[in-house]
Amino acid sequence: MSDSPQATHAGTGSAVESDPNAPVDLPNRIDVNDLNIYYGAFKAVADVSMTINPQSITALIGPSGCGKSTFLRSLNRMHEVIDGAYVEGSVVINDKNLYGPGVDPVAVRRKIGMVFQRPNPFPTMSIADNVLAGKRLNSKRLSKTEGAELVEESLRGANLWNEVKDRLDKPGSSLSGGQQQRLCIARAIAVSPDVLLMDEPCSALDPISTLAIEELMLDLKRTYNIVIVTHNMQQAARVSDRTGFFTIEGTGKPGKLIEMATTEKIFANPAMQATQDYVTGRFG
């Protein structure tokens, strides 16, 4: 693997190295091309190009305000819930540009699920209904047995089944924070998405629940393409296969992707000085 900064894109200041081991033609690979994200006149993220491999975990790290969460949200058009948000460039998955004409953002979000920073189960809904909420929103009629099967399958997938199987009719808010987050993951995978986006999924959790979610992510990556934004660099190091480092030059400037490489390289021998400074805590 070449360490040379020759991979640096002239003008953009980003070094996106090609990984020779990257799976090339598997389904659900995401290709981001020259993405610029705007909130009205404000350019929040500039010139991001990256490939996100399927069946792997990609971590996005960087200081606050560097645009990593905005970038993550742009991957399922979730940032568009803010008025005036728009993008230039393309996000291509399975030969389809998410920002192509006529693409329904709701359909995009069904295929690309998201788990948020704070666990947000519907507090009065039962555990089982929480799991099915997404499926029902997508106007799918489910028979009782189908529903029960999907609840069990999704909760098993989220590694929560054994803890809640005897109280599926209790409200979702009766669970601990870590269990609630796994319930949200169960809800996200119940609609069988292709990609799972996670926006700081463990920042509101205690260390043991955090490790439980990380272990779950390592299980889930066999099936899903996972992208995670995290402030916890150790978490990125522990779970991800590839890591992208975002930063900004100053307030009001857009966030940029500085370096993207295998996680091992980012944490052992990054190509860019800015990455080195950030992961070693000399800047941030």
Partner 1 sequence: MSKELRSNFHEQLTEIRDGIAQMGAGVTELVPRATQILLDGDLEAAEYVILGDNEYDAKAVELEERCFSVIALQAPVASDLRSLVSAIKIIADIERSADLCVNICKAARRIYGHDLDPSLRGVIQKMGNQARVLFKESTEAYLNLDGPRAAALHDMDSYLDDLQRQFIQVIFESHAAGTIDLQVAVQLAVVARFYERIGDHAVNVGDRVRYIVDGWVPEHPYAESDNDPPEIVDGVIVPAGQS
C-alpha–C-alpha distance, residues 178 and 166, integer Å: 18
Residue closer to partner 1 (CB basis): 92 or 211: 211
Residue closer to partner 1 (CB basis): 194 or 264: 264
C-alpha–C-alpha distance, residues 58 and 75, integer Å: 13
Q: Which pair of structure tokens corresponds to residue 164?
A: 């809640």
C-alpha–C-alpha distance, residues 124 and 122, integer Å: 6
Residue closer to partner 1 (CB basis): 124 or 234: 234
Exposed/middle/buried for residue 184 (C-beta within 10 Å: 0-12, 13-18, 19+): buried
Instruction: By CB under 8 A, name the one of 31, 163, 194, 277 that touches partner 1.
Output: 163
Query: Does residue 19 interact with partner 1 by CB under 8 A?
Result: no
Query: Does residue 1 interact with partner 1 by CB under 8 A?
Result: no
Binding residues among 261-280 for partner 1 as defined by CB under 8 A: 263-264, 267-268
Instruction: By CB under 8 A, name the one of 215, 249, 273, 283 that touches partner 1.
Output: 215
Q: Count Cβ neighbours within 10 Å for each residue of 225-243 and write b for 16 or more, e otherwise.
A: bbbbbbbbbebbbbbbbbb
Report the SS3 class of residue 51.
strand
Binding residues among 229-248 for partner 1 as defined by CB under 8 A: 234, 237-238
Query: Does residue 206 interact with partner 1 by CB under 8 A?
Result: no
Residue closer to partner 1 (CB basis): 124 or 269: 269
Exposed/middle/buried for residue 150 (C-beta within 10 Å: 0-12, 13-18, 19+): buried
**Min. distance of Cβ 212 from partner 1 in angstroms?**
6
Residue closer to partner 1 (CB basis): 103 or 268: 268
**Min. distance of Cβ 223 from partner 1 in angstroms?**
16
Which residues of the chain form beta strands (DSSP E)? 15-16, 30-39, 42-52, 57-61, 85-93, 96-97, 112-115, 195-199, 225-229, 242-247, 255-262
Instruction: By CB under 8 A, name the one of 152, 177, 211, 253 that touches partner 1.
Output: 211
**Min. distance of Cβ 175 from partner 1 in angstroms?**
13
Give how many residues touch partner 1 by CB under 8 A.
15
Report the SS3 class of residue 57.
strand
Residue closer to partner 1 (CB basis): 80 or 152: 152
Report the SS3 class of residue 132.
helix
Q: Sign (positive/negative) of CA torsion 250, 253, 259, 260?
A: positive
**Min. distance of Cβ 263 from partner 1 in angstroms?**
6
Segment interacting with partner 1 (CB under 8 A) among 40-48, 148-156, 212-220, 253-261: 212-220
Residue closer to partner 1 (CB basis): 10 or 208: 208
- Site residues (vs partner 1, CB under 8 A): 159, 163, 208, 211-212, 214-215, 218, 234, 237-238, 263-264, 267-268
